[in-house]
Structure 1
Amino acid sequence: MVTQSTAGISISVECVYQPEYSNADNMHFMFAYRITIENTSDYTAQLVSRHWDIFDSIGEHKQVDGDGIVGEQPILQPGESHQYVSGCNLKSELGYMKGYYTMIREIDGQLFQVEIPKFNLIASFRLN
């Protein structure tokens, strides 16, 4: 698990290879990741959008932008957390993801970015 905090918002990521949804012969490697977003600040914040940089070891780089996360734009009171699971497929067994969430502070409407720490996407058979 990797964790990073920005502006009172802590992001933790756990990633797991999904062999049952992967097919190496077709260059399809599936990964699932669980993200926990925790508001450790003293203000309420809402997640409004996401940006992902996805790197595949075959040299591909994708950027993904969108509203919210898995169809939601959670509002987090101080001390609250939100957790979700999503996935990513690569054409190789190695890669990584990183990015940021854009959030808005309820008290003043200020937008701010929260870094999502870089996490590795590694097929379990590549680990020693």
Structure 2
Amino acid sequence: MYSATTHDVRVTVAPLFLENQSEPDEGHFVWAYQVTIGNESTATIQLMRRHWIITDAHGHVQEVEGPGVVGLQPVLPPGEVFEYTSGCPLSTASGFMEGTYKMRWPDTNEMFEVRIPAFSLDSPHGGHSIH
């Protein structure tokens, strides 16, 4: 698991390689990742947008931006947790993801960013090297 806290919002990510949805001989590798967002502040917050930076094993970068997550813009009162699961395909056997959520405080309408920790996408199909 990977975790980061920004503005008293904790984001934890647990990636999982999906062997049954991957086709290594075709250069198709799929991961699921479960995200837990915990509001550890004393104010209600709302997740408005996501920005992902996805890097494959060759260093190719793809950025994904959009409203909310999994079609939702959840509101989290103090102490509440929101969990969701999503996925990521790559053409390489490994990679990394990281990003940010754009959040807002509904009381003031002020926007702020929360860091999504960098996490590794590992599969058993990657090459191994000894340094």
TM-score of Structure 1 vs Structure 2, range by shorter chain: over 0.9
**Counterpart position of 2:40:** 40
Matching of residue 64 in structure 1 with residue 55 in structure 2: no
8 Å Cα contact 2:36-2:83 kept in structure 1: yes
Task: Compute the displacement of 1:59 (Å).
Answer: 2.5
Residue 112 (structure 1) aligns with? 112
Deviation track 1:36-85 (CA, whole Å, cap 9, x = no partner) reads: 00000000000000000000012311000000000000000000000000
Which residue pairs with 1:92 in the alignment?
92
- Tell me which residue corresponds to 2:103: 103
Q: TM-score normalized by structure 1? A: 0.96
**2:25 partner SS:** helix
Shift of residue 125, structure 1, vs aligned partner: 4.5
Deviation at 1:107, TM superposition (A): 1.8
Identity between Structure 1 and Structure 2 (%): 38
Unaligned ranges ≥5, structure 2? none
Q: 1:7 Cα shift? A: 0.3
Looking at structure 2, the residues matched to 52 and 108 of structure 1 have their Cα atoms a distance apart, in angstroms, of 26
What is the CA distance between 1:26 and its match in structure 2?
Answer: 1.0
1:17 corresponds to which letter in structure 2? Answer: F
Distance 1:127 1:73 in 2: 39
TM-score (normalised: structure 2): 0.94
CA–CA distance in structure 1, aligned partners of residues 65 and 103 of structure 2: 14
Unaligned runs of 5+ in 1: none
Runs of 4+ in structure 1 over 6 Å off: none
How far apart in 2 are the matches of 1:126 and 1:76? 38
Size of the alignment, in residue pairs? 128
Name the residue aligned to 2:122.
Answer: 122
- Say if 2:55 and 2:62, in contact at 8 Å, map to a contact too: yes
Give the conservation status (yes or no) of the 8 Å contact 1:58–1:91: no
Give the superposed CA RMSD: 1.3
What corresponds to 2:26 in structure 1? 26
